[in-house]
Amino acid sequence: MHELSLTQNILNIALKNAGAKKLLQVNLLIGELSDEREESIRFYWDDLAKGTLAQGTKLHFQYVDAEMKCLECDTVFHPKEEIIICPACQSHRLKLISGDDVKIESIDVE
């Protein structure tokens, strides 16, 4: 159900930025640690966009790596394992910098 409100927000932002022009494509970035699923966003988009300038818009998804920073040694890295530790000092004190969100990268309009 979270994807419904997320998709509504993406649609609102895209329509606002398109002005009165028809949306052709919305390019989205999805972090690898995001809980959002492409299939759900597509499903809700098709329903929410009906009757708007976004109806028929193509959604393009690009997946991006997560990025973390070690709070002990300041190493910035992309986690590759299920159990995440700093590759430099083996610390578990980490901060997620990016990779758990969905962002609009760009929109294409007519």
Which tokens in the block code for residue 16? 């606002």
Is 3.30.2320.80 the CATH classification of the domain at 2-109? yes
| Confidence band, pLDDT 50/70/90 cuts, at residue 25 | very high
**Per the structure block, which two tokens stand in for 11?**
């649609």
> What residue ranges do the domains of the chain occupy?
2-109
Four-CA torsion 96, 101, 105, 106, nearest 10 degrees: -160
pTM of the model: 0.85
HSE-up of 59 (CA within 13 Å, CB side)? 25
Residue 79 has phi, psi (to 5 degrees) of -65, 140
Q: What's the pLDDT score for residue 26?
A: 98
Letter for the amino acid at 100?
A: D
Rounded-to-integer distance, Cα 28 and Cα 18, Å:
15
DSSP tag of 27: E
User: pLDDT tens for residues 42-99?
Assistant: 999 999 999 999 999 999 999 999 999 999 999 999 998 888 999 999 999 999 999 9
